[in-house]
Chains A and B, each alone.
Chain A
């Protein structure tokens, strides 16, 4: 494990170097990550104004502002591109040298992912602050909710990365399925509550959302932090669900990886 940590440290340093090299592009990606919640805030806020009590599913304008503000943060923490990239890595043969190293390629992917999140904080934190100053979110979270919310956001980032990586491994069987990333992202947007708070979904879709991991990746950490999950029992149950999904993801990765490398055909090199 020590040597994996040493390798991870080196991957992280190189990852940060690469991100700094590409600062212009990652700035645009980071901005893109903010546009989505900002637009949705505008829509839902307008929708809330049209209701008599100024609320939709218990969210008023300020609550929507807080919710989508948190979605910016959660969205940033859960950004991962392996589902988009794996097919290309395999098709182009770029995966081959990675597979020949005595350290699993997932560590390099994780380090690169972390590097992106760390470097882009320089851009996104000021934008988050600016957004908050403009929309004035109504936070109702008590200190314990905010503290658990921070843990929850970190867990969301970890589970999203691992589960996303498992989905990305489909490329070992079908390297041309580039839309995998889009499907994973789109389904996650819908069932994770990134289009709308889950409370605003019809009950059936809400039930389906509970069975999928996306709720725990996005809606739960946002709701917990802004104070919409009031019972500590409910908060800890949610954290347990996140941990369970993370463990499922890690176990699934180990199993799928073993079959995936057997399937590897080293296309074009």
Chain B
């Protein structure tokens, strides 16, 4: 993860902190979350007739801890990926940070504001794009929604025109501007959603599944566009996605969250080291081999015909490779990091990690919840 600016070796103790583009001292994280929690009271009952009748007189409620004492900081212009399965608490965290939800515990400041106070000055400087929610007027051309957005966000006419021209060119929106939103394809609509979210040039962007449902080519273009926006405007971005490619393409730092708790907070490439310190050795054999004990070399992931995949601890990968090359008629051999999906999937499977780990705290080094790294 990017260390907080105060830890980067800039001695600032005797001088006032420099001021950033958002009138905030550069040393301040743009997003600071401390022990943020959200629980919901959910009514529950057994299925069937009698439980339905009983629930009229005696309703049972269950407290669901959607976000459980989460802490982290995000620096200006950082792109952070939130990863986690459905119901992990990613979207709930984003909703609290955008001001949509009030937390049940903890604090958060974004751009110096407490989000859930919902001050206009705050909402004016952020944007939350929800891939599954439209902010466009369904029955009218997207242009009409852009016009409303300009008025609502008080965008000066000249700025509106130049930003819109830029976004229309970058997202290639010209052909769809005059079509009714409801007649657009999902990809076209998503581009319009991104356009409307960025018209007021937000300093902080919360992107909740921005590529959901769109094809691979469009996903790649949306990613490229988000990266360009971050680069050109120095915007801070938190992104959630089910598509690992979104995260690997955009985020150096990821926060893995499950059951409302942070399992890992750090650089993407360190995730494998921390959660799954393994290599995958793929072998193509030039002849059929029988009676060779692959299991003695590592965990056999697959074995079909002359192709074998082994998982071995990182430290012994070189030794195992040498052994395999000397023992077997190897046509081709590759050593790879395990797919990130696998790594994270394994972290989620490790229930003990979710149950026992203290919430990860922000630091200048990667943070991993206890127990998540020990699984093999």
Partners in one complex: yes
Q: Is the interface of A mostly helix, strand, loop or mixed?
A: helix
Complex A-B: 28 CB contacts under 8 Å: A3-B151, A6-B154, A10-B148, A10-B151, A13-B144, A14-B137, A14-B140, A14-B147, A17-B139, A17-B140, A18-B137, A18-B140, A93-B133, A96-B100, A97-B134, A99-B99, A99-B118, A100-B100, A100-B127, A102-B152, A102-B153, A264-B100, A264-B101, A266-B95, A266-B100, A266-B101, A269-B130, A269-B133
B153 and chain A: residue at smallest CB distance: A102
**Per-position binary interface string of chain B over residues 93-133, scored 1 when its CB falls under 8 Å from any chain A CB and 0 otherwise:** 00100111110000000000000101011011011101011
Min Cβ gap B130→A in Å is 6
A261→B117 CA distance, assembly (Å): 10
Task: Indicate if the CB atoms of B100 and A10 lie closer than 8 Å.
Answer: no
Does B145 sit at the interface, judged by CB under 8 A?
yes
Min Cβ gap A88→B in Å is 14
Task: Indicate if the CB atoms of B152 and A21 lie closer than 8 Å.
Answer: no
Q: How large is the interface on B (under 10, 10 to 19, 20 to 34, 35 or more residues)?
A: 35 or more
Task: Indicate if the CB atoms of A96 and B123 lie closer than 8 Å.
Answer: no
B121 and chain A: residue at smallest CB distance: A102
Query: Considering the complex, which residues of chain A in the window 1-51 have a beta carbon less than 8 Å from any beta carbon of chain B?
Result: 3, 6-7, 9-11, 13-14, 17-18, 21-22
Does A200 sit at the interface, judged by CB under 8 A?
no
Partner of B148, one of A11, A96, A265: A11
Min Cβ gap B116→A in Å is 8
B95 and chain A: residue at smallest CB distance: A266
A30→B95 CA distance, assembly (Å): 39
Task: Indicate if the CB atoms of B152 and A13 lie closer than 8 Å.
Answer: no
Does B61 sit at the interface, judged by CB under 8 A?
no
Does B40 sit at the interface, judged by CB under 8 A?
yes
Which A residues fall within an 8 A CB radius of B?
3, 6-7, 9-11, 13-14, 17-18, 21-22, 93-94, 96-97, 99-103, 261-262, 264-266, 269
A93→B139 CA distance, assembly (Å): 18
Partner of A261, one of B91, B98, B118: B118
Q: A261-B118, A264-B101, A265-B101 are in contact. Are A7 and B152 (CB under 8 A)?
A: yes
Task: Indicate if the CB atoms of A97 and B147 lie closer than 8 Å.
Answer: no
Min Cβ gap A157→B in Å is 23
Partner of B139, one of A9, A13, A18, A96: A18
Does B219 sit at the interface, judged by CB under 8 A?
no
Does B363 sit at the interface, judged by CB under 8 A?
no
Min Cβ gap A113→B in Å is 16
Residues of B near A6 (CB, < 8 A) are 151, 154
Partner of A101, one of B123, B133, B150: B123
B137 and chain A: residue at smallest CB distance: A14
Task: Indicate if the CB atoms of B151 and A7 lie closer than 8 Å.
Answer: yes
Residues of B near A99 (CB, < 8 A) are 99-100, 118
Does B135 sit at the interface, judged by CB under 8 A?
yes
Min Cβ gap B197→A in Å is 10
Min Cβ gap B164→A in Å is 15
A195→B116 CA distance, assembly (Å): 45
A23→B328 CA distance, assembly (Å): 77
Min Cβ gap B43→A in Å is 11
Min Cβ gap B177→A in Å is 15
